[in-house]
Amino acid sequence: MMIQALVNIFKIEELRKKIFITLSLLIVYRVGCYIPTPGIDTLALSQYFSRLEKEGGQTLLGIMNLFTGGALTRLSIFALGIMPYISSSIIMQLLTAVVPALEKIAKEGKAGYEKINQYTRYLTLFLCVVQGLFLALWLSNDASFRGIRIVPDKGFLFIFTTILTLTAGTVFIMWLGEQIQERGIGNGMSLIITTGIISRIPISIQQLWLLYSPFDASKRQISTFTIVILLALWFIVIMGVILFAQGQRRIPIQHGKRIVGNRVSMGQTTYLPIRVDMAGVIAIIFAQSVIVAPATLATFLPAKIGFVRFLQSMMQERGIAYNLVYVALIMFFMYFYTAMTFNPVEISNHLKKSGGFIPGIRPGTPTSGYLDFVATRIVFVGAVYICAIAILPSVIMHFFRVPSYDIASFFGGTTLLILVGVVLDTMKQLEGQLFIRHYEGFIKGGSLRGRK
């Protein structure tokens, strides 16, 4: 069924054009990831990042490098990636939930959406300038790199050029994402992030191959049995992520009879879906950023300081203390983000105005209380699932003796959640195009649900 659906996709001329446009724009993005920013010794910078990974484990710079597909280690024109726009979108989404003026604009329909989107772009520009400035100052400081000279010619011109180049690079990526959204298939921004992550897969496979060393048993660090177990675990985890990504609690909504003129419309039963992983990837990204920020700052300090050695060892070993803090942060951000985006009172008022109600629950305050009760428990289940996925790379590294986090990250964490989520969303859109033209989808007798 899957193969037939793929064949049907290329039978449709319009869909073929959309796929071609999407792939072409993604190739343009990947080419830009290899164009260096002027004034940078890229070889010296790459050496520094290699040493940083061996000494301190994962840092905030490592996370940024993962999302940019290695563009940060080369400090290409796309070194900032799409993350400033993603950060701006999250900030605007949270502000819309707490600032009445923005909330009012968001309720204006398409015009309101365009205003919020414009504010998001302005905030993205501001974040790009700030991040570009800090990167330029950091690169200009030789003391931060412990003897490695990254910028041969320092000065105001280098700082200005770096800020301008990195900001223009992110703006161009935003434009690419919007073109994919309008002319191609799938969510443009999500596909750009996914492309960066996928570009790291060959490197991880190469590292795993070197650890296995099939032609030299003396250098072998991972046995054949471990490889088989890891592959089986990878498939099981992917199936679990797909299951939870599409999992939702459907609350039945009953609508009463309506009399419009001389016509009487019968009451209908619909559903209010509450997703299990309502915050999902966002909670992990926030938690990762908070937990690795101190370790990132520690890399800029002398290694002789005891606190610096403690942070570096905690990030490198990924022991009980690290994972407990990580889990606590994920739980907090899951509930925090849900509280900001899921408003039971607003949903209750909307149901009351539209004549809908939950069977057995009185409209108004009892309905909002019930929705809050259900959401709180659903979020707890989702938080436990997200925590399990988040610490899985650490478990892989500890029990299977996998020394590289790049390899372990594809068995869980942000990487796997983004990959599976974006693939599901893209397949959902492709399936919708097939259904419109009376073709079967990817699942016989059913359809996919994307992670919106």
pLDDT tens sequence across 215-233 = 777 777 788 888 888 889 8
My answer on whether 164 and 247 are in the same domain is no
My answer on whether 158 and 246 are in the same domain is no
Quick check: 421 and 199 in contact, CB under 8 A? no
Which one-letter DSSP state was computed for residue 384? H
Q: Is residue 31 part of a domain?
A: yes
**Single residue among 376, 391, 411 that ends a domain in this structure:** 411
Q: What is the DSSP string of 55-110?
A: HH-S-HHHHHHHHTTTHHHHTBTTTTTTHHHHHHHHHHHHHHHH-HHHHHHHTTTH
My answer on whether 286 and 190 are in the same domain is no
Q: Is residue 212 part of a domain?
A: no
Residue that wins the pLDDT comparison between 403 and 381: 381
Average pLDDT, the chain: 80
- Is the pLDDT score of 286 beyond 60? yes
My answer on whether 248 and 379 are in the same domain is yes
Q: Is residue 251 part of a domain?
A: yes
My answer on whether 45 and 117 are in the same domain is yes
**Single residue among 150, 178, 199 that ends a domain in this structure:** 199
My answer on whether 167 and 253 are in the same domain is no
pLDDT tens sequence across 293-344 = 666 665 555 555 565 556 656 555 567 777 888 888 888 888 888 887 788 8
Q: Residue 95 corresponds to which tokens in the numbers above? A: 């502000």
Q: Is residue 407 part of a domain?
A: yes
Boundaries of domain holding 113: 17-199
Q: Residue 438 corresponds to which tokens in the numbers above? A: 């009376």
Instruction: Give CA angle at 58 (146, 203), nearest 5°.
Output: 100
Q: Is residue 3 part of a domain?
A: no
Count the domains in the chain. 2
Query: pTM of this prediction?
Result: 0.79
pLDDT at 1: 57
Burial 353-368 (b: 16+ CB within 10 A, else e): eeebbbeebebeeebb
- Is the pLDDT score of 125 beyond 90? yes
My answer on whether 194 and 263 are in the same domain is no
Mean pLDDT of the 264-291 span: 77
My answer on whether 160 and 262 are in the same domain is no
My answer on whether 63 and 194 are in the same domain is yes
Q: Is residue 12 part of a domain?
A: no
Q: What is the DSSP string of 97-153?
A: HH-HHHHHHHTTTHHHHHHHHHHHHHHHHHHHHHHHHHHHHHHH-GGGGTT----SS
My answer on whether 36 and 181 are in the same domain is yes
My answer on whether 30 and 173 are in the same domain is yes
Q: Is residue 231 part of a domain?
A: no
Reported as a pLDDT band with limits 50, 70 and 90, residue 5 is low
Q: Residue 449 corresponds to which tokens in the numbers above? A: 């649900």
Q: Is residue 95 part of a domain?
A: yes
- Largest pairwise CA distance in the chain: 87
pLDDT at 8: 73
pLDDT at 160: 93
My answer on whether 67 and 129 are in the same domain is yes
* CATH number, position 305: 1.10.3370.10
Measured distance CA(408)–CA(421) in Å, rounded: 19
